[in-house]
Amino acid sequence: MEHSPVSESLRTPPPPAPSGAQAGGPSKEDAYEPVIGLEIHVQLATATKMFCGCELSFGEPPNTRTCPVCLGLPGSLPVANARAVHFGLMIGMAVGSELAPRSIFHRKNYFYPDLPKGYQISQYDEPLCLGGSLGGIRIHRVHLEEDAAKLTHVGASGRIHGSDASIVDFNRGGTPLAEIVTEPDVRSAEQASEWLKLLRTTLRQLGVSDVNMEEGSLRCDANISLRPVGSSELGVKTELKNMNSFRFIERGIRAEIARQEKILQGGGQVTQETLHFDPGSGAITSLRSKEEAHDYRYFPEPDLLPVAIDQQMIDAARADMVELPAARAQRFERDLGLSAESAQLLAFRAELGDYFEAALAAVPQGESPPPAQTLANWVAGELVPRLSDTGGDGSEEGGSDPSSSRVEPSSLASLVEMLAAKRISVGAARQVLDTLVVSGGRPQEIVDAEGLAAMDGGDELAGIVAAALAANADAAQRVREGNAKAIGPIVGHVMRETKGRADGTEVARLVNEQLGT
């Protein structure tokens, strides 16, 4: 869980990134650029634990998913989970890591009640995957390790110091973890949060983890330092531990950047330490200083053999690879002609991309497919906003999954196609979607039932336009005099009369025609 043995100062400086601190900030001498590296722990969705045969636990009664191995009983020995290695390789492939032909497990020694053996089996200087990048952020390494047990402290303090008692649930202990360490390439709190969402989608697409922050299957630490803008050296870093939601990560990093900025601008020096961000109070407190840092006495785990990766394992991992968000965005842009923004929006939120593709594929027989860009706009811009009133702090999903709504993908496809063919107006389409979200159904039936079909440009509409001009004589006069904006009340009148079925462009054309303008 700690920093990798490679010192940050030895790494090549990352490519320059735009600095948020510069714009409108203090003078150049005082402007600082945040340098952020992330360490992410992902619980792997294997059937059994990392080093024993116990099933993973999902809220079972305490200490019911345990055995001599994950309880650290005397005489027990670990055996590495091949599925976890498989998932680790998939993660490595997804970020373009170099897969180590031979990697080894190390023991990381320290005492804590959630660590039954007195050491965590992790990887140290020979990890499973080295290097790579994702979404413009370089990956330093990916390695495998085991999760700790869950501690609950009884008493007022809520922490181990000052508690009346502490109880340990070993169900979680030994759950396989992949630790993904980035290079210090992140430059802002917002970028950290955005990038983590991309990582989460990637891992979810791979099927290697539930990646649920609230449930702790995705956890993030951030190493943060500041340096003068333009400098390529790294400042003293602090480590912000275990933030468990995207919102807290963003707030925590922002708070730590502000804290360090204040220290540096006051002429002070940042102290290397491990910090805790309290999302309740917004306070940052020290967990331990550099001097108090553990000496983990890493050494190769003698109970396990080196992990030797052969071609068969690589082939098996490759066979399980799926299209990842970055590649999907490219495909949306290239093959479907989506704008870059839409392509990323749909690809980086896999549930939107899946819904979008399902809708494209679900065009009923005899109907032509809706234009892809319009469909994309309607998925992201119309449907999702109608679904995201489900509460929560929005930190996890930032909206709801349309596949669990009442709107069938084929329905949205039909609706967008009707709109594109001008068989309904935009306003009518929105009304239909409102109905679909509430009660489902087929768009054509709703259009028929509610009489929302677009009026063609025939006599009926011309008559209504004429009536509207008569009722809005002042406005009509001003339009004649060249005030184009004055057309609003006239069109509004027509729309009221037609209950939105009229096409706005056609109405405007008729108005101008009848006024001779």
- Nearest-angstrom CA–CA distance, 348 and 68: 42
Amino acid at 385: P
Min dist. Cβ of residue 83 to another protein (A): 15
Residue 77 interacting with another protein (CB under 8 A): yes
Min dist. Cβ of residue 26 to another protein (A): 39
For 50-188, where are the alpha helices, taking DSSP H only? 82-94
Amino acid at 157: S
The encoded tokens of residue 388 equal: 């995201």
| Contact with another protein (CB under 8 A) among 29, 164, 291, 295 | 295
Residue 119 interacting with another protein (CB under 8 A): yes
Contact range with another protein by CB under 8 A, out of 85-93, 106-114, 192-200, 381-389:
106-114
Nearer to another protein, 164 or 389 (CB): 164
| Contact with another protein (CB under 8 A) among 14, 34, 37, 72 | 72
Find out whether 257 and 226 touch, Cβ atoms under 8 Å: yes
Find out whether 313 and 86 touch, Cβ atoms under 8 Å: yes
| Contact with another protein (CB under 8 A) among 304, 314, 316, 515 | 304
Residue 129 interacting with another protein (CB under 8 A): no
Instruction: Report the alpha-carbon angle 481-484-485, nearest 5.
Output: 120
- Nearest-angstrom CA–CA distance, 119 and 98: 28
| Contact with another protein (CB under 8 A) among 168, 198, 253, 257 | 168
| Contact with another protein (CB under 8 A) among 36, 40, 71, 384 | 71
Residue 299 interacting with another protein (CB under 8 A): yes
Residue 113 interacting with another protein (CB under 8 A): yes
Min dist. Cβ of residue 112 to another protein (A): 8
| Contact with another protein (CB under 8 A) among 14, 88, 116, 176 | 116
Residue 7 interacting with another protein (CB under 8 A): no
DSSP character string of 26-75: S-GGG-EEEEEEEEEEEE---SB-SSSSPBPPSSPSTT-S--TTTTT-TT
Contact range with another protein by CB under 8 A, out of 65-73, 193-201, 245-253, 501-509:
65-73
Min dist. Cβ of residue 79 to another protein (A): 5
Residue 156 interacting with another protein (CB under 8 A): no
Residue 204's beta-bridge partner residues?
A: none
Residue 82 interacting with another protein (CB under 8 A): no
Residue in 476, 467, 473, 512 with CA at minimum distance from that of residue 494: 467
Min dist. Cβ of residue 150 to another protein (A): 14
Q: Which helix (H) or strand (E) holds 438?
A: helix 426-439
Residue 111 interacting with another protein (CB under 8 A): yes
Residue in 496, 424, 429 with CA at minimum distance from that of residue 455: 424
Residue 157 interacting with another protein (CB under 8 A): no
Q: Which helix (H) or strand (E) holds 102?
A: strand 102-103
Min dist. Cβ of residue 78 to another protein (A): 7
Q: CA-CA distances (angstroms) from residue 202 to 217, 305, 324, 399, 458?
A: 14, 30, 6, 18, 52
Contact range with another protein by CB under 8 A, out of 11-19, 75-83, 428-436, 457-465:
75-83
Residue 73 interacting with another protein (CB under 8 A): yes
DSSP character string of 75-90: T------HHHHHHHHH
Min dist. Cβ of residue 181 to another protein (A): 20
Residue 303 interacting with another protein (CB under 8 A): yes
Residue 174 interacting with another protein (CB under 8 A): no
Residue 172 interacting with another protein (CB under 8 A): no
Residue 124 interacting with another protein (CB under 8 A): no
Nearer to another protein, 173 or 252 (CB): 173
CB count in 10 Å sphere of residue 311 = 7
Nearer to another protein, 72 or 409 (CB): 72
Question: How far is it between the farthest Cα atoms of the chain?
Answer: 97
Q: Which helix (H) or strand (E) holds 488?
A: helix 487-498
Residue 155 interacting with another protein (CB under 8 A): no
Look at residue 398 and give its three-state secondary structure: coil
Nearer to another protein, 37 or 173 (CB): 173
Min dist. Cβ of residue 75 to another protein (A): 4
Residue 109 interacting with another protein (CB under 8 A): yes
| Phi, psi torsion values for 105, nearest 5 degrees | -90, 145
Residue 144 interacting with another protein (CB under 8 A): no
Nearer to another protein, 125 or 278 (CB): 125
Residues 6 or more apart from 6 whose CB is under 8 A from it?
A: 140
Min dist. Cβ of residue 14 to another protein (A): 28
- Nearest-angstrom CA–CA distance, 110 and 113: 10
Site for another protein in 381-400 (CB under 8 A): none
- Nearest-angstrom CA–CA distance, 214 and 218: 8
If you ran DSSP here, which 8-state letter would residue 186 be given? B
Q: CA-CA distances (angstroms) from residue 486 to 191, 474, 495?
A: 45, 9, 15
- Footprint of another protein (CB under 8 A): 68, 71-80, 107, 109, 111, 113, 116-119, 160-161, 166, 168, 295, 297-299, 302-305
